[in-house]
Amino acid sequence: MNVIEGAMARYSEHDTSKIYQGADTFRANCLLRDSTLLLEDASIWRPDILDRIRTAFVATPDEGARSFIAKLSYRLSRASREAFTFCAPRAI
């Protein structure tokens, strides 16, 4: 199936140009270049980084009473720069 550039309906009675600009930036940086919105030169969507994140967060759950942000902050303080770069925007 071919996708025609710009073929999606974009009618709105409000100015949506910034939303579509942000979506285009996300598509270009994150989906096409495996990068991030915060650090354009960082390649974070790699199997080795995702495996480290899975090991640190999924394989070793923290079931304590602390808040999600407290647990995430603790784990990110010990994580690699790439893992931090991957996870930080999701905590905002």
pLDDT tens profile 37-66? 777 677 777 888 888 888 887 888 888 999
State residue 40's pLDDT score: 66
1-40 pLDDT, tens per residue? 445 555 566 667 888 888 888 888 888 887 787 777 777 6
The whole-number pLDDT of residue 41 equals 72
Torsion sign (Cα): 58, 63, 69, 74: negative
Instruction: Measure the N-to-C terminal CA separation of the chain; round to a whole number of Å.
Output: 36
Q: pTM score > 0.85 for this model?
A: no
CB neighbours of residue 28 within 10 Å:
12
As to burial, measured by CB atoms within 10 angstroms (0-12 exposed, 13-18 middle, 19+ buried), residue 71 is: middle
Q: What is the mean pLDDT of residues 85-89?
A: 71
Gap between the Cα atoms of 81 and 89, Å rounded: 13
The position carrying tokens 């579509």 is 20
Distances (CA, A) of 11 to 6, 16, 83: 12, 9, 38
Q: How confident is the model at residue 67 (pLDDT cuts 50, 70, 90)?
A: very high
